[in-house]
A and B are shown apart, each in its own frame.
Chain A
Amino acid sequence: MSTTEQKNKKTSNEERLIEKLSSKLNIPVNLQKERRFWAIIDHSKIVETCLTAYEMGFEHLSTISVTDWLEEGKFELAYHLWSYEHKVLLTLKTKIDRKKPKVSSINSIWGTNAETCERECHEMFGVIFDGNPNLTPLFLEDWQGPPPFLKDFNWREYVRKETYDQKNPREETYFEVKK
């Protein structure tokens, strides 16, 4: 009995928080499952939305991830923010054009932490973060090819050209493409 009451209380708390968030951020916030909220925002509003979320208690920038939707021709950026106060994860998603991947940096809020996350996104997907002074290579040294995590980057072809040892029969199986 008590557990169900607790659960009801929790859900009503979450609903109240969603309403509050939606009115403050001016966007509809959705519930995915317990303690997981998500919202779609416009890419031009990313800094102000993040700042409002930060002021509402979403202080921890967990990570920034990029998904390459090749057919749509868009990059989807997801900012995962956790609130130590409300104990809720808010995922802010925004889509940017794949050909002109430019979005403003949020280093004014999270400092070097955000800058490092953005550096990784820049290196792996080629997304340019406006206002980030430090978009230097992070993991890859002397990388000449295109950003490696892009969906249309044919890494098999690239490796075959660059480093494949033709004489070694044991490496053959890795280059057989079945699709």
Chain B
Amino acid sequence: MTSTQKKDEIGDFSMNFGPAHPGSGNFGVKVQMQGERVLKATADPGYLHRGFEKLMEYREPMQNAVLSDRVCVLEPLQWNLVHAEAVDYLMNYDVPERAKYIRVILAELSRIQSHFIWYAVMSLGTGFMTGFNVSMGYRDYILDVFNLITGGRVYPAGYICPGGVRKDLPEKAENKILKLLPKIDYMRKFILKENPAWLARFKDVGVLSKEEAIKFGATGPVLRGSGVGADVRRDDPYEVYDELEFDIPVRDEGDGYARYCVGIQEIEESMKIITQAIDRLPKGEVRTPNLKPIVQFRKAKGEIYIRNELSRGEGAFYMVANGEKTPYRVKIRGPSFSHMIPILEYLLTGVDYADVPAIYWSLYQCPADVDR
């Protein structure tokens, strides 16, 4: 009896999980421990705060398009799309049909590569290096296509810009994307293989119930892993998503494994969307006619809240224009903001320390869009 009392006295201490790359990304969690058990967790964001909301007040929309890549390193094309849609609405741009399809194709490719990274970092967090290496390797095939189309492997530099896209698809790009799909499918099947070590780490860990998920503002795979079938692409369709057929995978368990399964099933749905979009890709302009690189933003007046389904969940831009050259106010809602601060703190309370990385990575975090 005395020995257990002593153990508790020694066991009370606090320590840091992160910030170290790639162990936790640029994000830290301060945990108060009792022995092996976490008593209280406090998220410690801010290592990637670059103040985009303020920066965008000093730049013109085309420059902001370049800046919007940097909101999240892992899904720059989708952030490009959110920003472009906000400016499109304020400027009343009629985006050509072909540009809309190109936007959707690239956004879905970006979603797939982001899910690959998710699998990679989940493997890394639980000590499965093979998964990390294979997944990052297959991701590079997608990055090669990005390099071909946008001119940059990771950062497209505002390829999806206000009014359309900056350049038309190069020759044979469609063939390249179609050739890429079998490789993605191979990787998907590799991920799908049941791994007992994986199950042991993620099953019944970090359970988030349906009501809690809604209350804490969860979106994306985290919400769908908890049994809510909500997807912005379906509920609040943008671009051409209402013309395309795809399913929304939902799991009821709400644990880390369910979230991951939802993500893996989404890869298949994204592949469906890409094949349909390439089939229907019309010919024509890719940019609003007569649009110069400088957007005449003085004409814009009003405000808009644009929501998009990013790979991590709901990403949104709130943009206010009052007839100046630059936006008056920009507010960016990163999907990881609610995942990484309220939900992570809630889920980490009372778990074993060994489960911390498993829960942390199963929430599909991106520190860059928490801090912005």
Measured CA separation A141–B345 after assembly (Å): 20
Instruction: Decide if A132 is an interface residue (CB 8 Å cutoff).
Output: no
Instruction: Decide if B241 is an interface residue (CB 8 Å cutoff).
Output: no
One of A60, A115, A140 near B49 (C-beta < 8 A): A140
Instruction: Decide if A24 is an interface residue (CB 8 Å cutoff).
Output: no
* A62-106 CB contacts (< 8 Å) to partner B: 62-63, 65, 67-68, 78, 80, 82, 84, 87, 89, 91
In the complex, the answer to whether A113 meets B51 with C-beta atoms within 8 Å is no
Instruction: Decide if A14 is an interface residue (CB 8 Å cutoff).
Output: no
Among listed B101-109, B157-165, B287-295, B327-335, interface-contacting one: B327-335
Instruction: Decide if B198 is an interface residue (CB 8 Å cutoff).
Output: no
Instruction: Decide if B267 is an interface residue (CB 8 Å cutoff).
Output: no
Q: Output the nearest chain B residue to A88 by Cβ-Cβ distance.
A: B236
A133-151 interface bits toward B, Cβ cutoff 8 Å, 1 = contact, 0 = none: 0000011110000001100
In the complex, the answer to whether B215 meets A68 with C-beta atoms within 8 Å is no
Measured CA separation A151–B53 after assembly (Å): 12
Instruction: Decide if A30 is an interface residue (CB 8 Å cutoff).
Output: no
Q: How far is the CB of B82 from chain A (nearest CB, A)?
A: 13
B212-237 interface bits toward A, Cβ cutoff 8 Å, 1 = contact, 0 = none: 00111101000000001010000110
Note all chain B residues with C-beta closer than 8 A to A36.
304-305
Known A61-B217, A80-B318, A87-B235; contact A113-B46, beta-carbon cutoff 8 A: no
One of B89, B307, B342, B371 near A139 (C-beta < 8 A): B371
Q: Output the nearest chain A residue to B334 by Cβ-Cβ distance.
A: A63
Q: Which residues of B contact A (CB under 8 A)?
A: 45-46, 49, 51, 53-54, 89, 214-217, 219, 228, 230, 235-236, 304-305, 307, 314, 316, 318, 320, 328-329, 331, 333, 337-338, 341-342, 345-346, 371
29 contacts between A and B (CB under 8 A): A32-B304, A33-B89, A60-B217, A60-B219, A62-B217, A62-B305, A63-B331, A63-B333, A65-B329, A65-B331, A80-B318, A80-B333, A87-B235, A87-B236, A89-B307, A110-B217, A111-B342, A112-B345, A112-B346, A113-B215, A113-B217, A113-B338, A115-B342, A116-B338, A116-B342, A124-B53, A139-B49, A140-B49, A148-B51
